[in-house]
Amino acid sequence: MANKLIVAPAPHVQTSQSTACIMRDVVIALMPALVVSTIVFGVDVLRVTAISVAACVVFEFLIQKFFVNGPLTISNWSAVVTGVLLAFNLPASIPWWIVVIGAFVAIAIAKMTFGGLGKNPFNPALVGRVFLLIAYPVQMTTWPMPVQGAFDALSGATPLAAVKHGAVGPDALGVQDLLLGNMPGSLGEVAALALLLGFVYLLWRRVITWHIPVTILATMALFAFFVALGTKGTENPALLWQLPLFHVLAGGAILGSVFMATDYSTSPMTVKGGVIFAVGIGVVTMLIRLWGAYPEGMSFAILMMNACVPLINKYVKPKRFGVK
């Protein structure tokens, strides 16, 4: 008699959606941002994205073919999603060989070392991005100017970097500029409106829920509000809404909260746990942005809270069936 007991990684949820279907929806949700980024930075965006996706798929195929027993899983699109997200965390001008190294770290070390999709404790694309930031800081922080620069005062610096170093104030870029994204930055930092369209699509497709993204952005906004209130908020009341809005729309806030913090295998299993997870990401992000060495802290915040997920799952559990 065949053994019908199967041991598999969580989550153990029965649904009509397959992994490939979910991953394709994520790719579709990222397409508006890819289009806007290509318009802003030119064909280099497509070059970086294509190299990243191809490298991730090839590395996963080779590792499964020669080092890991079991069926090939590159058809589930998870490697494609990792490749696109990694590319979205890179500048358009980055050399191709650095993209390949980042893909290797993301797939070989952050994903396949732990057994593949569903078993990795950290978001693979963010591991690749942080590794590259530490190993190649110059190339990772050299930002190309947009085809038609909307903000000359940035002079190649991202809005977060310019504000952090006091070159400009948070009101220097208007809401329209932040939403449309004609400014220096990584591929996924320049189109807040396009990323929000992807967020709506994922909600409509029920790929993610609103709890983690909204909680992260709300936490960041509240943190920025109280910081503005405690500094120059009484002298400049407009800062009370300018600073929160700036931090929500600038940098990788929307990209990280919508497409990376919601990763199934690296986020808590319960809604309450997800809220705790999201609050932690929002607070750590703002601490790094305002007082840390880097102008952006979303990647570090998500990875730090990824490490806390097992602890959150241990102490924040749903009620057992039948228990009041």
With 0.85 as the threshold, say if the pTM is over it.
yes
318's tokens:
């749903």
With contact defined as beta carbons under 8 Å apart, do 25 and 201 qualify?
yes
Highest-scoring range by mean pLDDT, 1-5, 62-66, 67-71, 152-156: 62-66
Based on its alpha-carbon atoms, the radius of gyration of the chain, rounded to whole angstroms, reads 20
DSSP characters for 271-322?
A: HHHHHHHHHHHHHHHHHHHHHSSSS--HHHHHHHHHHHHHHHHHHS-PPPTT
DSSP characters for 207-265?
A: SS-SHHHHHHHHHHHHHHHHHHHHTTTTT-TTHHHHHHHHHHHSTTHHHIIIIITT-GG
Write the DSSP symbol of residue 117. Answer: T
pLDDT tens digits along 194-245:
999 999 999 999 999 999 999 999 999 999 999 888 776 566 777 788 888 8
Asked whether residue 153 carries a pLDDT value surpassing 50, the answer given is no
Domain boundaries, the chain: 19-140, 154-315
Separation between Cα atoms, residue 209 and residue 203, nearest integer Å: 6
Cis? peptide before 318, omega within 30° of 0: no
